[in-house]
Amino acid sequence: MTEIELLILFLATVLGAVTTSGLGWLDSGDAFDARRFVPGLIRGIIAAVIVFIASYQGFVGEINLFTYLAAFLAGGGFDVVVNRLAGISGIGQGKTTT
């Protein structure tokens, strides 16, 4: 496993989280708000570090196209799950009711 393969895995995972954040923003119909977009990027980086550690320790095995796809989905899935958990607990959204 080369450093380039690990870098691409890292980027694929972050891109998965950024994609789900972007799709959530598009679904909301609101104007772009970086304050709401940045947590998705941070969750993507956290997921990418987890995938990187698993890859580096040898849990992934051979890296191929399906490995990159799995990393992309892992980033997106991690972003969605953590975002839902934050929404359920009321953390970080700054919602106000009028």
- In tens, the pLDDT along 56-90 reads 666 666 778 888 888 888 888 888 888 788 778 87
Using DSSP's 3-state secondary structure scheme, residue 48 falls into helix
> What is the pLDDT, as a whole number, of residue 68?
86
- What's the token pair of residue 79? 């972003």
What confidence tens digit (pLDDT) does each residue in 28-40 have?
Answer: 777 777 777 787 7
Tokens 């191929």, residue located = 64
Cα–Cα–Cα angle for 44, 29, 13, rounded to 5 degrees = 15
Query: Could you give the CA distance from residue 45 to residue 18 in angstroms, rounded to a whole number?
Result: 10
pLDDT tier at 98, thresholds 50, 70, 90: very low
